[in-house]
Each structure stands twice: as C-alpha cells, then as structure tokens.
Chains A and B, each alone.
Chain A
Amino acid sequence: MNKKDFPIFKNNPNLVYLDSGATSQKPQSVIDRLKKYYEYENANVHRGIYELSENATQEYEKTRNIVKEFINANSEKEIIFTGGTTDSINFVAYSWLLRNVTKGDTVLSTQMEHHSNLVPWQQICKMRTDVNFDLIKVRDNFKLDLSDIQNKIKKFKPILFSFTHVSNVLGTINPVKKIIEIVKKHSPDTRILLDSAQGIPHLPVDVQDLGVDFVAFSGHKVYGPTGIGVLWAKEEILVKEMIPFRYGGGMIRVVNSDDSIWAEIPEKYEAGTPNIADAIGLGEALKYVSEVGYKKIIKHENEIKEYAYARLKEIPELTLFGPDILKNRQGVFSFDLEGVHSHDIAQILADEGVAVRAGHHCCQVLMKSVLDVQATTRASIGIYNDEDDIDKLIRALKKVIGIFK
C-alpha cells in the first residue's frame, strides 16, 4: 500500500525495507515540503517584521496546531517541539522530575523500555539521595505484568510512571488505558508519561481520552523528518510544575543582568532558534497520516503482520519473541535463529536487499533480564510494506539457514 508515495523505493528498486521501527521512509509530500520551505520560505521565526519571517512563524505555529489536532490536545500551548523522543524525555527528566523529586520518592518504568525511557530516569534518581528507581516486570507472554504494576503503584505511590505505548523489540501493544486506570485507582497523584515513539506511527493517540500527563514521540518514525519530535504535557503541569532547563533566546520575556523573566508557554520551553523546517515537515507528515487515515493504516498493517507472523512461524529453527495474540502486537518481529548470530543474519539479509536491524535495539535490560539473549534480529513494518516484502524476507532467512546448516 502507498509504496508509490515513497520515492526511496523508486530510487532503490530492490530495497525490501523492514526497519521502520528504527526510522520510517518519507513520503514525497514531506520531502517536497522541506524543499519548498528552504527554497521559498526560509527565515527565522518570532523575530523579523518582514513578510518571510512572519510567514515562517505562521507556518511553524500552524504545525503546532496540526499536532494539537492530531493528538487531541486541549491547546496548542501544550505542544513543545523537541529534537525527538529522547530529547522530550530528557526534557521531562530535567525540567520536571529533577525539580519535583524528593527523598523517599519512587520513579517507575518497565523492563521493556528503550534506553531513552530508562536511562534518563535512572540517572536523575542517582542525582538525588534516597530516590528509588524500579522497573515493572515483563511476563513470559511478553506483556507487562499488570499485577506487578498494581502492587508497585500501591506500595510506592510513585511520583512518575513512564512506559512505552508499543515495545520496539517485542511489538507488544501495552493496554494503556487499563494501565492508567490501575495507576489512577491506587495513586491518583502519580504522573504518567507515555513513550509513543513506536505507537503513533501505527495507532491513534488521543491524549485527553488516555488521561496521561506527558506524551513523547519522534517525527522520523511517523514518516516525518529526523531531528524533530514532540513533547505534549498538560498545560497545568507545564505552567506550575516545570521550569526551563535550556536557557537562551526566544524563551525569555525580560532579561536583566541579575535575573530574567520567562516567556509564556510553549516558547518558554523552546530556547534558541527552533528546528523550523523539520517542524513544518512533521506537520506535513501528520497530514499525510491523516489523509491515509489510521483506519486504513491499521487494516493494512494488520494484514501484513498476520502474514509475516504465519510465515515466520513456519521456520522451525526460528524463535520468535513477542505476544502470540496478534491483536496485542504491532508489526515488529524480533527473532533468534538457532546457532546464527543476529549480525550474520542481518548481513546475509542485507545482501539479498532485505534491510532489518540486528543487536540489542537499545533495550539491554529487556535483552538481559527477560529474553536472556545478547541480540536479536528485528523486522518491523510500515505502511509501504506488502506480502512480497515478507516473502523476500522468508526466502533470505532460508538462505541463512542453508549457509549455516
């Protein structure tokens, strides 16, 4: 579906791209939008009185509105542009957690997190004395242990619970609303961050409906440019519970030699010249996703996911990680082939034109504590993949088995 919208496939006719979990390919409309911006519209924002600058400001702010509508935020003031998910999470870690955490507090995350949703919390906790950092267990069925969540939420009443929407290794789609219900029931003051880096490219996110406090995602995984991402936070939190951790131009109202007064949100949290072009490109990507529509995306990706699952299961030497109940799983397939290291698999696949990922996928805790493997090979799908791509993957895997037999 939609392969023709993505020029990379025209320019690399033999490419079988199964690494959308790492980054998605870009539709022509996004590429054209970036080009148009630089060719016709480039100027700094919030500064010039001249038309180009006014226009760039307008386009940049329009994108904020596109994001607001896309995730159903209450106001565009709640949309902070960042460099990506990692940047958004570090922002919460420094501007919110570091300011609010005190002795005896607990910060909760899970064993299935990407390093970017684990290391920032771990390190902030280490900066303070007597702050506990704990991880929710992943069960044998590759899902979060809901009773562990209940117990730890009850026991610790954590200041923050940060977890992923979809696991980038297992494909597990976490039952976000159910988890939030458990948290709210036992500890209504716990703030909740949802890492939707792997969620929003495939599933709609309605921040008000979910009832979360923070959402982070990256532009480049949702068919947009690299270097741009979003932090959404409730207005009340942005105003009352956070302070900037980056200072400089664009985020101030008044600067005196001894102290300064900050601008209003969201500018307050966007110090320096923002990534204007890529923000506008992200807006175009979200438009693209809206135009195709999540309904069609989900239907198509489900078909490919079911096909891929069935074909992978046919290979006896292959151990597949992740939930077997497909409705709980995104089109992400991490696997192990008996006796073959993931690097060797990925290399042979690469020579067949099949792009997959090998390694720990920035999830060392999951690898060590849950899967007990050093590395896996991962195939992950996007809207442009079709059954033919899966057939080529399977053919290449059979070649690997043949070589190492």
Chain B
Amino acid sequence: MSNQMYRQQMLDHYKNPRNEGEMDNPTHTSELENISCGDEIKVYLRVKDDKLSDIKFQGKGCAICLASASMTFEDIKGKTLDYISKLDISNVEKLIGIELSPSRKKCAHLGLLTVQNAINNK
C-alpha cells in the first residue's frame, strides 16, 4: 500500500508544495490543526466575483496532509466558492488517487477543511 501511497507525485507535492507562502491583504484566512497528530495548515484566500482567484498556504505535518493540501489547492484555484464548498474527503481521495484508512483520511482532509472554514467564517 505505501508504495502506492508514497508514489512520486505525492512526494513531489510534499517536497515542493505548490502555492506555499503568505499573502498580503487576503480576503479570507483560516488556520486549523488536527489535535491528535499535530498537523497544522494556515490558508490565505483572495476571493473575487465569488471565485477563488488566489490561494497561499503554510503547513506543518505529514506527507499525506501536506501533499493533499498542495494538490487540493492547485485544483480549486480559479473555481467558484459554491464548487469548493461542496467538495468532501472523497474528492480529495480521487484527486490524490489513493484510498485512505480512517486515521489518514483526517490528515488528507485538513487542507480542504481549512479552506472551507475560511470561506464560511466570512
């Protein structure tokens, strides 16, 4: 399983996360963590005309968490808030191409949840 789980694309996103960093004057921000394992993600969003025009993030955590966040954020950039708010963990699993065990689902889900939290909090 891990051979599949830690395949090249995942590891590449883990080692070179896309959209990593901070943003000046974001329209939305949020920060979430998985208490049990200490994964942490902070996102900065710029929303224009109900679309996510830009996203930046900073994170600490395992490869599954950070790579899933990087891949998810790459996917949702440019999409409508309505589209983003309807996504769930099954979409993340499809995106990264791995079926995860319940404990690892939490890791993979954190990025998406942080973005949805940022949107809902505004």
A and B pair up: yes
Q: Measuring CB to CB, which residues of chain A are less than 8 angstroms from any residue of chain B? A: 340-344, 347-348, 350-351, 358-360, 374-375, 403-404
Q: Are B6 and A343 in contact (CB under 8 A)?
A: no
Task: Specify which chain B residues have a CB less than 8 angstroms from the CB of A375 in the assembled complex.
Answer: 37-38
Give CA–CA (A358, B65) in the complex, Å. 15
CB of B78 within 8 Å of the partner chain = no
- For A360, what are the chain B residues with a Cβ–Cβ distance below 8 Å? 37-38
Nearest CB in chain A to that of B33: its residue: A374
In the complex the two chains form, is A347's CB within 8 Å of B37's CB? no
A340 to B6, CA, bound (A): 12
CA of A344 to CA of B14, assembled, Å: 11
**Interface assignment of B55: CB less than 8 Å from any CB of chain A:** no
Query: CA separation between A341 and B38, bound complex, in Å?
Result: 10
Q: Mark B41-60, 1 if CB is under 8 A from A, else 0.
A: 00000000000000000001
| Selected contact of B62 from candidates A343, A350, A351, A403, CB within 8 Å | A343
Contact A403 B11 (CB under 8 A): yes
Chain B contributes a number of interface residues (CB within 8 A of A) equal to 18
Q: How far apart are B101's CB and chain A's nearest CB, in angstroms?
A: 8
* Residues of chain A lying within 8 A (CB to CB) of residue B104: 343, 347
Point out the residue from B1, B36, B64 that lies within 8 Å of A344, measured CB to CB. Answer: B64
Tell whether A358 pairs with B6 under 8 Å between CB atoms, given A341-B61, A347-B104: no
| A344→B62 contact, CB < 8 A | yes
Q: Which residue of A lies closest to B6 (CB)?
A: A403
CB of B63 within 8 Å of the partner chain: yes
Residues of B contacting A403 with CB < 8 Å? 2, 6, 11
In the complex, A404 Cα to B15 Cα: how many Å? 9
Q: Which residue of A lies closest to B103 (CB)?
A: A343
CA distance A351 to B38 in the complex (A): 22
CB nearest to A364 among chain B residues: B38
Chain B hits for A343, CB < 8 A = 37, 39, 61-62, 64-65, 104, 107
Bound-state Cα–Cα, A42 to B118, Å: 56
Q: Select from chain B the residue with minimum beta-carbon distance to A349.
A: B2
For B38, the closest partner residue in chain A by CB is: A374
A343-B104, A404-B11 given; A359·B37 CB < 8 A: yes
Expressed in whole angstroms, the Cα–Cα distance for A360 and B34 within the complex equals 12
Q: B11 and A351: CB pair below 8 A?
A: no
Query: Which chain A residue has the least Cβ–Cβ distance from B104?
Result: A347
A19 to chain B, nearest CB (A): 14
A375 CA to B38 CA in the complex, in Å? 7
A358 with B37, Cβ < 8 A, contacts A341-B63, A374-B60, A404-B11 known: yes
- Once the chains are docked, how many angstroms separate the CA of A29 from the CA of B6? 41
CA of A342 to CA of B2, assembled, Å: 14
Assembled-state Cα–Cα distance A343/B103 (Å): 10
Q: Which residues of B contact A348 (CB under 8 A)?
A: 2, 6
Q: List 14 A-B contacts (CB under 8 A).
A: A341-B65, A343-B37, A343-B39, A343-B64, A343-B65, A344-B6, A344-B62, A344-B64, A360-B37, A360-B38, A374-B60, A375-B38, A403-B11, A404-B11
